[in-house]
Amino acid sequence: MNKVFLIGNLTRDPELSQLPSGVSVCKFGLAVNRNFTNSSGEREVDFFNITAWRGLGENCAKYLSKGRKVSVVGNIQVRNYEDKDGNKRTAVDIVAEDIEFLSRNDDGDASRGGAGGGNNGGGRAPRKQVSELTPVDNEDLPF
């Protein structure tokens, strides 16, 4: 099984592009703090390249920016290539299946929540204020 779960902050604004076929792809960097400190007492950070496809990628490009905190569920993809000097290189990418937005929006609302994963790519409905909720009589409950 190839599955990875990461929580971190975007290191750069998402870059959205389209393939000639019209499929959207969004790429961004993610910084993830380690759970421990090194011998100097400093917390180390791992950096990952994240790729999100189609609607998921479009939502990331629309709602995310550098510094925002997200949760990413996906799989690890390793690719080999040659750099401009002819040296062989290996890159490790995370292909996102689901991305949950964890930071608050500029208007203070964290409820835009997830970019959604898989097929729907949709977000969550905004939360209602307590004063907007309708009281329910316990006698009306079926249990």
pLDDT single digits (tens) 47-95: 999 999 999 999 999 999 999 999 999 999 999 999 999 999 999 999 9
Tokens of 127: 């939360």
Q: What is the pLDDT of residues 85-114, one digit of tens each?
A: 999 999 999 999 999 999 876 655 544 455
**Can you give the C-alpha Rg of the chain in angstroms?**
19
How far, in Å, are 89, 131, 140, 141, 142 from residue 137 at the CA level? 65, 16, 6, 7, 11
> Rounded to the nearest 5°, which phi and psi values hold at 76?
-85, 135
Q: Cβ neighbours of residue 81 under 8 Å, at least 6 residues apart?
A: 88, 89, 91
Q: Which residue has the higher pLDDT, 129 or 94?
A: 94
User: Which pLDDT band holds residue 139 (cuts at 50, 70, 90)?
Assistant: confident
Return the pLDDT at 128: 53
Q: DSSP letter at 6?
A: E
- 9, 48 in Cβ contact below 8 A? no
